[in-house]
């Protein structure tokens, strides 16, 4: 990818991550979802825009009990799989446990 393409991609992802765009998508999810949120800064972010996007998920967590925050980790979103794999594994186990309870009912 060229630098211009990467910039365009990041701008588009920022638009899609806004509550107005992402909220309706999340509202249609019926399966258990566990979030591992980054708390570190993201390349190209300005000010607190990343934290504002993350905070908008609080409304989703409140209205959708099947979508929950599993962990908020210190790395940025690009480093979560590498630096916070235990938190990801915990989130997967949490989601699987919910599915296991639903299967046994």
For the chain, where are the alpha helices, taking DSSP H only?
3-16, 19-27, 49-55, 57-63, 80-83, 85-104
Q: What is this structure's pTM?
A: 0.74
Q: What pLDDT digit, counting tens, does each position of 73-105 carry?
A: 998 888 999 999 999 999 999 999 998 877 665
pLDDT at residue 18 is higher than 70: yes
Domain that holds residue 20: 3-104
Q: Which residue has the higher pLDDT, 50 or 34?
A: 34
Distance CA 72, CA 77 (A): 10
Per-residue burial over 56-66, b = 16 or more CB atoms within 10 Å of its CB, e = otherwise: ebeebeeebee
Q: Which residue has the higher pLDDT, 105 or 19?
A: 19
Distance CA 31, CA 60 (A): 14
Q: What is the pLDDT of residue 69?
A: 94
The domain total for the chain is 1
């Amino acid at each position: 990818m060229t630098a211009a393409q990467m910039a365009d991609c990041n701008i588009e992802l920022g638009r899609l991550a806004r509550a107005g765009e992402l909220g309706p998508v999340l509202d249609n999810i019926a399966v258990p979802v566990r979030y591992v949120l980054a708390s570190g800064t993201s390349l190209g972010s300005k000010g607190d825009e990343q934290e504002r996007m993350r905070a908008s998920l609080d409304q989703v967590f409140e209205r959708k009990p099947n979508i929950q925050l599993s962990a908020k980790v210190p790395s940025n979103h690009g480093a979560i799989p590498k630096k916070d794999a235990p938190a990801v594994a915990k989130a997967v186990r949490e989601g699987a446990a919910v599915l296991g309870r639903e299967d046994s009912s």
